Structure 1
């Protein structure tokens, strides 16, 4: 049987083998349930797929505004998202009406250097009906732009009686070869009638006859002005 002296001696031996500075504090108890060792895992060689890309982070970014003016009230969080609306450029053009086309201009006698009849011209009557559109085309005339344009056509009038004179010149020389005498209805729709023709029947035009002069005027009006001249039956 152990005596109280032997117990105190054993206690002193335990103190002899304990660390210094620990005092009489007892060691920390071990965990009741120790954690099992973790299983080793192989590192992934490829790039992780669960990491968000910078583009996704930018798309998920939202602006947060915190109302801190009233500290006693609950905080208010508002999510703000910016939306950019692209307006098409043609919307402005739809709002404004299109500009009207510019009216056609009348060819002036001084638009091109031209010469009068070189010899005494020949005159004869002619009866050709002209609708208003053809009268207006003859009234405007034609100005040649290049060497392929063979005719220079301009008009004078009409006067108070409705008399309109149409002059025909060569496009590249300016030589005059014919005139048309037109009487138009200035009070009605503007229709007219060719009542006569004057042409150069001299040597410069190879002694042109009446039929040849009418044929040349028909050709000039058709190919230059898109006007078909037809005799009345």
Structure 2
């Protein structure tokens, strides 16, 4: 077991944060379906606010942004890379740029169910290791109500392309749901439109995180 900790993001904890309330006013404590069949790994993969009492060696979580994960990522399909020890990607791992101050930065609802494995991958993020790895992905949260933001940047330039708004079931198996997406539709991204950015994010998730969002509702 490892404890992954990152600085608390005040913007995620403010009640005035409107993006999640806009898309999920009734989903602050979502009741999400659980995939049938046995779980591929035991409970250490859960995204929990506090450790269970079953493991006497478990570390007590004393910080809101501390999340406990298993040392190895859950197996998802037939991964391109070998399963390895993973460290959560941090915003400080690479130089990035925020969204431009432009009316072309847009936000819309997106309805995509996430399995615990998919939610885990989005939380952990991705740091490029090769020239062909064109994405840098990191997350903020989840906060006490399970709200998570996932940021998608181009690895070569640090340009921010998109941001996902996710709600994770902290009390269950760690499943989640994408409830919204924000993206840069300005000239610097050649005027990305809604369908294009959703396809781009889905492709990035498939290529570098090895998770499929093909069941998402556009």
Superposition TM-score, scaled by structure 1 size: 0.55
Shift of 1:219: 0.5
On the 8 A contact 1:184/1:192 being kept in 2, the answer is yes
Tell whether the 8 Å contact from 1:114 to 1:176 is kept in structure 2 after alignment: yes
Counterpart of 2:198 in structure 1 is 214
Structure-to-structure mapping, 1:149-160, within 5 angstroms: 149-160=133-144
Runs of at least 5 residues in structure 2 that lack an aligned partner in the other structure: 1-70, 73-83
- The counterpart of 1:203, out of the listed 187, 193, 212, is 187
Contact 1:129 1:232 in 2 (8 A): no
Q: Identify the residue that residue 147 of structure 1 maps to in structure 2.
A: 131
Deviations 1:75-114 (A, max 9, x none): xxxxxxxxxxxxxxxxxxxxxxxxx877421001000000
Larger RCO (CA within 8 A; separation ≥ 6)? 2
Name structure 1 gaps, 5 residues minimum. Answer: 1-99
Alpha carbons 2:110, 2:217 under 8 Å: kept: no
Cα displacement (A) at 1:232: 5.1
- State the TM-score, normalized to the length of structure 2: 0.59
SS of the residue corresponding to residue 202 of structure 2 reads helix
Larger Rg: 1
Deviations 1:149-187 (A, max 9, x none): 100000000001100100000011010010000001001
Determine whether 1:182 maps to 2:166: yes
Match of 2:92 among 110, 115, 119: 110
Given that residues 108 and 181 in structure 2 are in contact (C-alpha distance below 8 angstroms), is that contact kept between their aligned partners in structure 1?
yes
| Paired positions, count | 134
The Cα shift of 1:128 comes to: 0.3
Cα offset for 1:146? 2.6
- The CA deviation string for residues 197-225 of structure 1, in whole angstroms up to 9 with x for no partner, is 00000000111100001000001000010
Aligned equivalents of 1:178 and 1:232: distance in 2? 17
